[in-house]
Amino acid sequence: MENKMEWWKQTSIYQIYPWSFQDSNGDGIGDLPGILTRLDQIRDLGVETIWFSPFYKSPGEDFGYDISDYTSIDPRFGTMDDCDKLIREIHKRKMKVVLDMVMNHTSDKHPWFLESKSSKENPKRDFYIWHKGEKKVPNNWISMVGTSGWNYDETTDESYYSNFLSFQPDLNYRNPKVKKSMFGVLDFWLNKGVDGFRLDIFNSIYKDEGFRDNPSSFRYFPTPDNHDEAFFQKKQYNLNLPESFQFAKEVRKHISKYKQKPFLIGEVSGSDKILKSFLGEKADGLNLVFQFELIHFDYKAQFFKDLLEKNEREFPAPYTPTYVLGNHDQRRFIDRLGGDVRKAKVLSAFQFLARGIPVVYYGDEIGRKEGRIPNFFGKDPIAKMNRFVPLFLCNLLGIYINRDNCRLPMLWDTTEQAGFSKGKPWLPVGQFQTEDTVVYQKTKNDSLWNHYRSLFHLRKTSSVLKEGNIKTKLSHHADVLCFERTLGKIVVIVYLNFGEKEIKETVSKGSKLLYSFGGAEVLGDKLQLTGHSGAVFEIRLKK
Ligand code: NOJ
């Protein structure tokens, strides 16, 4: 059957955090030549699209999310030649490349900002959001990290706005020259052949022109999928503005003329209604948005059933849901599961077999665990701000502060520094066992790495899993989630057991077992699902 669906609706995404993936020159920081040496392994895992966290020139105060030059490579990571080669080699291996694009803000060391802050008359003054009135803090806007978003600058006796950290001044998209410059940046990379962009805090692009005060709210802590009410404020005027929804369409239109058919995946947060506004009423906005429900899952079949049904209700085709289990800002998912690899297999199977795009954070395929670095010793700027908050309190309140802990180096093998570097890693590799490494897990059929490999390949080779519709099915057992994917005359049926107890399900006639894990077995017409196991069947319908 000819496959007509756009490629990005069928892909799987693997996120690489360049700082921590593979160091090639012994300086303890991962780099592009290092990544190049691992490309075959990434391909063998079955990855289709690689998303790179930023490797552009940057002071590195927020580890690359503070860019000082959008069109050059930070020397820590290599050169533009390395980058060109990386793009070429990824394409050679039939994978796609997505770059992280931080459009909302630059570093305060970006030449645009240095010019902008030098004088009120500077032609770049309006590249950023300066408040022109008398007041140093013109309104009550709180940034996404809980501080005032206004930053007083002595040079011109005015304040500039930053929706994240103070060294990340927000660009002013009401200035057409800013838009033009940013579109120029996108063109630069699209002309190099990249296949898409992950758009950092895209919900923050526009701010209210009239600088109106935000209304108050009872809610203090933000969650990964809700920043729009936090720190006792409804972020009505500094997040999710209608102009940002409109801008999503403009960016989509701008990039869609490129022959590689690139796509945009937005980091936006909020209600489904807000996410949909970014995707556009006619699915003409951002191609995809990250959906973070799996960051705070309740490990129960009912939770996943509800999630599937909700996504089909709110984001039916042509919308494509995304399933994100982790990223460089969140506690590692294996730790959220108490280290239980059996559960990690069930969860990742859900992520790969549902209708939508699985987004995998490097190291999750081997169950890479969190570090235990206290905020006090954190390199992460958010940890530095909260230096005196003890880890146990963060855990108690369920808040995640020191992001160093989810950014530890990849565990490749049992040599020194786990094969990550010949030098002293920028973050400690931490304690690990032989079984935690890629090299070991590759040799064990029932390892998490091999499970991920099977899932990546299953999706890759099944048009039903890529394109088919989805329907949840009733199981007689509360712990079992069952759903069907259908395309034409082929049906794929998935059973996942979220419980400890062994459960038997009757298998429909003519079913062919495609994959099973965790000890699930077919005996005659019965599927025996041991605790935390799963199975995938295919049926070819006659008519
Ligand atoms: C979201 C990114 O994921 C995070 O790592 C970064 O610190 C902020 N945006 C600011 O760019």
Give the pLDDT of residue 3: 56
Name which of 194, 317, 321, 199 is nearest 261 in CA terms. Answer: 194
Question: What spacing in Å lies between the alpha carbon of 484 and ligand 1's midpoint?
Answer: 36
pLDDT digits over 266-285, tens only?
A: 999 889 999 999 999 999 99
Q: Which of 201, 203, 327, 407 to mutate to test the pocket of ligand 1 (most atoms within 8 A of CB)?
A: 201
pLDDT digits over 325-371, tens only?
A: 999 999 999 999 999 999 999 999 999 999 999 999 999 999 999 99
Q: Which residues are within 8 A (CB) of 122 and not within 5 positions of it... i.e. 6 or more apart? A: 115, 116
The set of catalytic residues is: 200, 267
Give the pLDDT of residue 1: 45
Cβ contact 160:132 at 8 Å: no
pLDDT digits over 193-225, tens only?
A: 999 999 999 999 999 999 999 999 888 888 777
What is the fold, at CATH topology level, of the domain defined by 469-540?
Answer: Immunoglobulin-like (2.60.40)
**What number does the ligand 1 atom closest to the CA of 65 have?**
11
Span 7-105+176-207+239-375+402-456: which CATH code? 3.20.20.80
The values of phi and psi at residue 461, to 5°, are -100, 5
Question: What spacing in Å lies between the alpha carbon of 342 and ligand 1's midpoint?
Answer: 31
Name which of 243, 248, 254, 320 is nearest 280 in CA terms. Answer: 248
Q: Which of 99, 199, 329, 403 to mutate to test the pocket of ligand 1 (most atoms within 8 A of CB)?
A: 329
Residue 134: pLDDT over 80: no
**DSSP character at residue 193:** T
Q: What is the number of residues in the chain?
A: 543
**What number does the ligand 1 atom closest to the CA of 62 have?**
7
The values of phi and psi at residue 203, to 5°, are -70, -10
| Burial track 387-418 (b if 16+ CB lie within 10 A, e otherwise) | eebebeebeeeeebbbbbbbbbbbbbeeeebb
Outline where 152-216 has alpha helix (H).
176-191
CATH 3.90.400.10 corresponds to the domain 111-161: yes
Give the CA dihedral 34, 35, 41, 43, nearest 10 degrees: -160
Question: What spacing in Å lies between the alpha carbon of 162 and ligand 1's midpoint?
Answer: 13
Is 127 exposed, middle or buried, given 0-12, 13-18 or 19+ CB atoms closer than 10 A?
buried
Residue nearest to atom 6 of ligand 1 (CA): 65
The model's confidence at residue 395, banded by pLDDT at 50, 70 and 90, is: confident
**What number does the ligand 1 atom closest to the CA of 66 have?**
11
Beta-strand runs (E) in 201-269: 229-230, 233-234, 263-266
Residue ranges per domain, the chain? 7-105+176-207+239-375+402-456, 111-161, 376-401, 469-540
Give the separation between CA 512 and CA 491, rounded to whole angstroms: 10
Q: Which residues are within 8 A (CB) of 282 and not within 5 positions of it... i.e. 6 or more apart? A: none
Residue 507: pLDDT over 70: yes
Pocket of ligand 1 (CB under 6 A): 62, 65, 102, 164, 200-201, 267, 328-329
Is 283 exposed, middle or buried, given 0-12, 13-18 or 19+ CB atoms closer than 10 A?
middle
The three-state (H, E, C) secondary structure of 417-431, written as one string: HHHCCCCCCCCCCCC
Residue nearest to atom 2 of ligand 1 (CA): 200
Question: What spacing in Å lies between the alpha carbon of 328 and ligand 1's midpoint?
Answer: 9
pLDDT mean across residues, the chain: 95
Give the pLDDT of residue 214: 96
The share of the chain scoring above pLDDT 90, in percent, equals 91
Residue 2: pLDDT over 60: no
Question: What spacing in Å lies between the alpha carbon of 202 and ligand 1's midpoint?
Answer: 11
Residue nearest to atom 11 of ligand 1 (CA): 65
The model's confidence at residue 501, banded by pLDDT at 50, 70 and 90, is: very high
Residue nearest to atom 10 of ligand 1 (CA): 65
